[in-house]
A and B are shown apart, each in its own frame.
Chain A
Amino acid sequence: MSKYFSKLTSPVIAVILGLIVGAIIMLVSGYDPIAGYSSMIGGIVGDSYYVGESVRTIIPYILAGLAVAFAFRTGLFNIGVEGQLIVGWLAAVWVGIAFDLPRIIHLPLAILAGAAAGALWAFIPGYLKAKFRVHEVIVSIMLNYTALYVTNYLIRNVMTDKLDKTERIADTASLRSPFFESITDFSRMHWGIVVAIICVIIMWFILERTKTGFELKAVGFNQHASEYAGMSVNKNIILSMVISGAFAGLAGAMEGLGTFGYAAVKGGFTGMGFDGIAVALLGANTAIGVVLAALLFGGLKAGALNMPLETGIPSEIVDIVIALIIFFVASSYFIRWIAARFKKGVK
């Protein structure tokens, strides 16, 4: 019991601190934090439409969070989720447009194309890390921008004739769900939530129940010991990045096949990849933790959209809160230090 408690304390404290500082910022800016937060909560669960939109926001957050968390477990920092997500998005949409197949084949094919593209994009930093010992963080940052510009170019010049977005995907490749739409007052909630949940189970299964997962985690704990025990560190590094990239590509595919139904030229990043880092950190890199953290962050993001409408508070306050939560989680040494002082004082 106490073990689980201490595991939970620092994320929970970080979230509370983040929300408190967010409230202080609202107060200093002349807004009412209570009205702000209650309009945000209204924007998350206020009525069935908001619930549907929140679930839709949470889908890519779960997958992006899984991607970052999976690589973290092997001791790798996949900051390239953003780029892998973008290429996954485009690949899924491309399959969705280019083929004419029955739904039972078309939809899985489009989803897998997204996963494969993300995996391929993540293979590059994995391979370079394994082969040349190049730091994966730098390579994947560079690949994020490469992905952004290359996909923009492909959309403008290859998939369309100088247009800013592709045509819509075929209905047979769409994740849109009339059922979910009808029960959530025509929100954009789609079947991607099922894909996300399956991926959560896959991640848990790989890491906790297979030999491969054991090796991946072992490499994350201690590369030298793993090498000495006869595991191939290089193989595991590449494998971990590839699986992580597949999750990221799926996150993009969910946006392409579910939420939007097309791929558009982007002026900048979607931000979901970077928020995935926040999700993974807060979720302590476990499958279930990622789900909880994605619920929180996805909810915050969806609820934020309601704040300017009801209270005039800029929705960016939620970005500030999320960034602060990352800060506090990252500085958990500080939180533990305070907690230790506090305990001593009590005794």
Chain B
Amino acid sequence: MDFYQVLQIIIPSMIALAAPLIFTSLGGVFSERAGVINIGLEGLMVIGAFTGIVFNLMFADVFGEWTPWLAVLAAMIAGLLFSVLHAVACITFRADQTVSGVAINLLAVGLTMFLVKLIYDKGQTDRITETFPRIDVPLLSDIPFIGPILFSNGYYIVYIAILISFVVWYVLYKTPFGLRIRAVGEHPMAADTMGVNVTKIRYAAVLLSGAFGGIGGAIYATIFSNEFNHATINGQGFMAIAAMIFGKWHPIGAMGAALFFGLAQSLSIVGSSLPFFKDIPSVYLLIAPYVLTIIALTGFIGRADAPKASGQPYIKGKR
């Protein structure tokens, strides 16, 4: 097996594994840039995964091959609705944001597993039949050398994830809404003085993070697990948080970090069948994303600083 063939195996699986992380970490970027810590991304992914799978099982007969797309849409809405809890607790009730996030995670697993047992009367759902098909992107997959690596045997939703991260960059850095999000996360009082409605912007950002987290969860469940149980989203949400931090709270950075973590994950799965990689114990690849994030935070790879006001509720008139 030569190196080119190895790339043909690793790269598509890396991009595919990165897609859920990209969506979820972009959600994290929105929320944290507006000054609301969202540890609850894991829980939001759980909600998304659950909704995606249940929708898929219920409507596969009706919508046919469109089912996974609509399931992702449904998961987006479910994630958005669920994140309202986090928003209300953190913004209106001034709860500790980390604590509220922990509650979101516990609640998501409890609620979804309760519903799974209620609906299916067992510990996991049935397996879905309609998943995203693997495709070769027309035209692009014909490019010599890079075509077969980057644009063959992939999923459309994965390429959409990468495009969306550029859209998020545009929104955050080139639109008034994005400027307001960043202002509210750095110095809410200054933003308030300039007439920005801090509460409204923060609500919008948290709900966006819920929607993105829901999408991420649904993609992960649809492509990789094909069913939903209590361990479907096993730490993907926290890995998305790691990607967001590793990407220094920047959409493109988060996307890059997600791709890198996707590589580590894909190597830990397929690495055992590849030359060179099979000599590395998979534990190193499994812990790599987390250890690298810690190293990144300590400043060895350039300092990563959180938005200034993240974690603090904004109380009007308090200095």
Residues of chain A having any CB pair with chain B under 8 Å? 25, 29, 77, 79, 124, 128, 131-132, 134-135, 137-139, 141-146, 149-150, 152-153, 157, 267-268, 274-275, 277-278, 281, 314, 316-320, 322-324, 326-327, 329-331, 333-334
A180 CA / B105 CA spacing, docked (Å): 36
Residue among A132, A142, A150, A281 with max Cβ neighbours from chain B (10 Å): A142
Instruction: Give chain A nearest CB distance to B227 CB in angstroms.
Output: 15
- Contact A79 B102, beta carbon cutoff 8 Å: yes
Q: With contacts A132-B298, A150-B287, A316-B111 known, what are 10 further pairs, Cβ within 8 A?
A: A29-B114, A134-B294, A138-B241, A141-B241, A146-B290, A149-B287, A274-B105, A278-B102, A319-B109, A326-B106
Please indicate the chain B residues that have their CB under 8 angstroms from the CB of A142 in the complex. Answer: 238, 242, 290-291, 293-294
Question: Complex: how many Å from CA A326 to CA B110?
Answer: 13
B99 touches A330 (CB 8 A): yes
Least CB separation from B285: chain A residue? A149
Q: Is B113 within 8 A of A333, CB to CB?
A: no
Q: Is the CB of B118 within 8 A of A331?
A: no
Cβ-defined contact, A323 with B298, below 8 A: no
Q: Name the residue on B nearest A330 (C-beta).
A: B95
Residue of A nearest to B88 (CB): A331
Q: A137-B39, A145-B290 are in contact. Are A326 and B103 (CB under 8 A)?
A: yes
CB distance from B273 to the nearest CB of A (A): 18
A135-B306, A145-B287, A333-B95 known; A327 vs B297 contact (CB < 8 Å) = no
Q: Which 8 A-B pairs have the closest CB atoms?
A: A319-B110, A323-B107, A330-B95, A323-B106, A331-B93, A153-B283, A314-B117, A142-B290
Q: Is A79 a contact partner of B98 (Cβ separation < 8 A)? A: yes
Contact among A132, A149, A267, A281 for B299, CB-based, below 8 A: A132
Residue of B nearest to A135 (CB): B306
Q: Is the interface of B mostly helix, strand, loop or mixed?
A: helix
**Minimum CB–CB distance for B98 against chain A, Å:** 6
Residues of A contacting B297 with CB < 8 Å? 128, 132, 134-135, 138-139
Residue pair A274, B102 in contact (C-beta under 8 Å): yes
- Tell me whether B100 and A327 are in contact (CB under 8 A): yes
24 CB-based A-B contacts, threshold 8 Å:
A79-B102, A128-B294, A128-B297, A131-B298, A132-B297, A138-B242, A142-B242, A142-B293, A150-B287, A152-B283, A274-B102, A277-B99, A278-B106, A281-B99, A314-B114, A316-B109, A316-B111, A316-B117, A317-B110, A320-B110, A323-B107, A323-B110, A324-B107, A333-B93
Chain B residue at minimum C-beta to C-beta distance from A30: B118
Query: Of the candidates B100, B291, B294, B306, which one forms a contact with A330 in the assembled complex, judged by CB atoms under 8 Å apart?
Result: B100
With an 8 A cutoff between CB atoms, is B231 at the interface? yes
Q: Is the CB of A29 within 8 A of B96?
A: no
Contact B113 A150 (CB under 8 A): no
How many residues of B are in contact with the other chain, CB < 8 A? Answer: 45
Question: Chain B contacts of A157 at CB under 8 A?
Answer: 281
CB of B9 closer than 8 Å to a CB of A: no
**Is B272 at the interface (CB under 8 A from chain A)?**
no
The reply to whether B118 and A149 form a contact with Cβ atoms under 8 Å apart is: no
A140 to chain B: closest residue by CB: B294
Tell whether, in the assembled complex, residue B102 and residue A326 are in contact, meaning their CB atoms are under 8 Å apart. Answer: yes
> How many Å lie between the Cα of A275 and that of B286 in the bound state?
25
A124–B294 Cα distance when bound, in Å, is: 10
B235, CB-defined interface residue at 8 Å: yes
Q: Which residues of B contact A331 (CB under 8 A)?
A: 89, 93-95, 100
Residues of B within 8 A of A144 (CB): 238
B246 CB to nearest A CB, Å? 10
Q: Let me know if B241 and A320 touch, CB within 8 A.
A: no
A327 to B106, CA, bound (A): 10
- In the complex, which residues 217-275 of chain B have their Cβ closer than 8 Å to any Cβ of chain A? 230-231, 234-235, 238-239, 241-242, 245
Chain A min CB distance to B318 (Å): 13
| Residue B191 is within 8 A (CB to CB) of chain A in the complex | no
- Does B137 sit within 8 A of A, measured CB to CB? no
Residue of A25, A157, A274, A320 with most chain B CB atoms under a 10 A cut-off: A320
**Minimal beta-carbon separation of B228 from chain A (angstroms):** 13
| Closest Cβ–Cβ distance, residue A56 to chain B (whole Å) | 21
A300 to B136, CA, bound (A): 52
